[in-house]
Amino acid sequence: MGDSKLADQYFDAAIGLLRRVRDEEAESVAAAGALLADTVAAGGRLFAFGAGHSSLAAQDVVYRAGGLALMNLLAVPGVVGVDVMPAPLGSALERVDGLASAVLDSSPLRAGDALVIISLSGRNALPVEMAMKARALGVKVIGVTSVAYATQTTSRHVSGTFLRDHCDIVLDSKIAVGDAELALDTVPAPFAPASTVVTTALLQAVMATAAGSLADRGLEPPLLRSGNVDGGHEWNGRVMEQYRDRIFYRH
């Protein structure tokens, strides 16, 4: 089997998953977009969190051209990405009880805000505890996860529950347990993960929905423009000044 055949198989798998989330999660995407628009319109703030590779999808909607300026990254030290050394430490921190509570206690999150929590498995202590604690604070929680894990694996949180059990809205990425789309007889392990492709697409669909929902209400969506187009920096400066009390990555 040639490399190009594997590439085609991967693209086909990713396209298939994108079609599934488009068709099967349409109602949840619309609800999530409306929730973010409601939060913005009411003066609330927006946050996104993910650990490990799930953090990539969180970072993808923060401070980017074409995105909502109000989306802030809720960073947890040691779990934001693969720059943690040694890398397995980040995975271990996801299983530590109490870490999410400590982070939320020192964060600007408050009642009336919205928090997007991204966790492929949704089984580790960190995302479960974060969702529980955030909702207790009066924060609306949107969870992005693979519901398959909740039926095929066990929770690592003391409650025995998963992220999906503590969300106002759940977006199911449809990713199979193990996050690997390809297999070969000559390769000892499955390979080619698609969770980042699908999760980022899901969230960008939510952001687009939120922007449109704000516009439908006669409100200008606080969007950022590319700094590489003429006037982009000036545009972004105006938006960030207008919403400076709700943007935490500029201070």
Task: Render each residue's pLDDT in the chain as its tens digit; 251 residues.
Answer: 456 799 999 999 999 999 999 999 999 999 999 999 999 999 999 999 998 899 999 999 999 999 999 999 998 888 887 777 888 888 888 888 888 999 999 999 999 999 999 999 999 999 999 999 999 999 999 999 999 999 999 999 989 899 999 999 999 999 999 999 999 999 999 999 999 999 999 999 999 999 999 999 999 999 999 999 999 999 999 999 999 999 999 76
Query: What local confidence, expressed as pLDDT, does residue 95 receive?
Result: 84
The pLDDT assigned to 84 comes to 79
Residue with structure tokens 């609800």? 31
- The DSSP H or E segment spanning 179 is none
Sign, Cα dihedral of 175, 194, 94, 27: negative
CA angle 146, 148, 149 (to 5 degrees): 80
Report the alpha-carbon distance of residue 242 to residue 251 in Å, rounded: 14
Q: Is the pTM of this model over 0.85?
A: yes
CB half-sphere exposure, 224, CA atoms < 13 A: 21
pLDDT value at residue 189: 96
Model pLDDT, residue 251: 63
Helices (H), 106-194: 125-136, 148-152
User: In this structure, what token pair is assigned to residue 206?
Assistant: 């939510």
Whether the Cβ atoms of residue 204 and residue 198 lie closer than 8 Å to each other:
no
